[in-house]
Chain A
Amino acid sequence: MQPSPDASRVTDDELDAVFAALAAPARRRMLDLLQAAPGSTIAALAAHFDMSAVGVLKHVRVLERAGLLLTRKHGRERLLFVNLVPIQLIYDRWTNAYASFWSEQVVDLKQRLESRTSRSKHTERKRA
């Protein structure tokens, strides 16, 4: 099977970074926590973990490099946000390759529905 044209949208390096970042329970938990509480500070995030501040920061950096975690300055604070776009791109990377399987069916359905609509309009006009 030909790779999907969408495959080119994600490079191998980007894939590696995301998979490596997700291959640690602590980092997956960080994403869960940030999704539940967007805009947490590093201190608030660290409070959930029994590890040193340096350890937490190290994990945050790995997630940040993979694009899964974003930090933004707000006033004097640095807020953390989860960014699920890289995971969506990975999903698309494989699933879009199979999309053509049913794409024709849906397009066909659309055409049949539309021709039926225009036909019934035609009939209405004739009745009037």
Chain B
Amino acid sequence: MPDVPAKPTNVFRVFIRASIHDVWKEITRTDAPIACFFNNRMHLGRAGLQPGSTIAMRTVSGKFTGVVGEILEVVPPTRFSHTFKFTNMDDPPCVVTYELRDVSGQTEFTLIISDVLQGSKTQKQMTQGGTLIVNTLKSVMETGRPSFGTRMLFVLFKLLEPISPAKCRSERWPVN
């Protein structure tokens, strides 16, 4: 854990009618694409889900990697934090933290984005993406699938995958 807590830049919160354990399982799964993370699949280094391990968010085909980072904190089922860098941008990594709180059998889910370079492309992406992440997670946990608009977005991603920039190719971003 970093000595100086990162200063939050954006915070997103949603109340999910599902148990904290189910929500934790969903955001840390590696066996299937995670809808709320833009339908990417989470790949972890050999160390698995623990601090210091590398993390890569890859397309369903595995060919392209959109986000890479290093795990900072894993406290099941309440806290998961990792550095976060878009592979197609030259910005320094920021930090994302997921906080889960049990509220009488249901879950208050908070996404905190910290240490973003002000005015960067990353900041713009994160500000727009945060709402979609928490909203889609709520949808998946409560209705079993993302909202219609989000599902259409996934179709679009799949159609556009072949024209992803070469610097996002997964062989450039190995996990270890």
Measuring CB to CB, which residues of chain A are less than 8 angstroms from any residue of chain B? Answer: 5-6, 8-9, 14, 38-39, 67, 70, 72, 74-75, 79, 81, 83-85, 88-89, 92, 95-96, 99-100, 103, 106-107, 110, 113
Q: Is the interface of A mostly helix, strand, loop or mixed?
A: helix
Q: Is A83 within 8 A of B7, CB to CB? A: no
Q: Is B10 within 8 A of A96, CB to CB? A: no
Contacts of B12 in A (CB 8 A): 83, 85
Q: Please report the C-alpha to C-alpha distance between residue A100 and residue B148 in the assembled complex, in whole angstroms.
A: 8
Of residues 120 to 176 in B, which have CB atoms within 8 Å of A's CB atoms? 131, 134-135, 138-139, 142-143, 147-149, 152, 155, 159
Measuring CB to CB, which residues of chain B are less than 8 angstroms from any residue of chain A? Answer: 5, 7-15, 110, 112, 131, 134-135, 138-139, 142-143, 147-149, 152, 155, 159
Count how many pairs of residues, one from A and one from B, have CB atoms less than 8 Å apart in the complex. Answer: 68
Q: Is B155 within 8 A of A106, CB to CB? A: yes
Contacts of B135 in A (CB 8 A): 85, 88-89, 92
Contacts of A106 in B (CB 8 A): 152, 155
Q: Is B142 within 8 A of A8, CB to CB? A: yes
Q: Is A83 within 8 A of B147, CB to CB? A: no
Contacts of A70 in B (CB 8 A): 11, 13, 110
Q: Is B138 within 8 A of A79, CB to CB? A: no
Closest to A83 in B: B13
Contacts of A9 in B (CB 8 A): 138-139, 142-143
Q: Is A110 within 8 A of B147, CB to CB? A: no
Q: Is B9 within 8 A of A38, CB to CB? A: yes
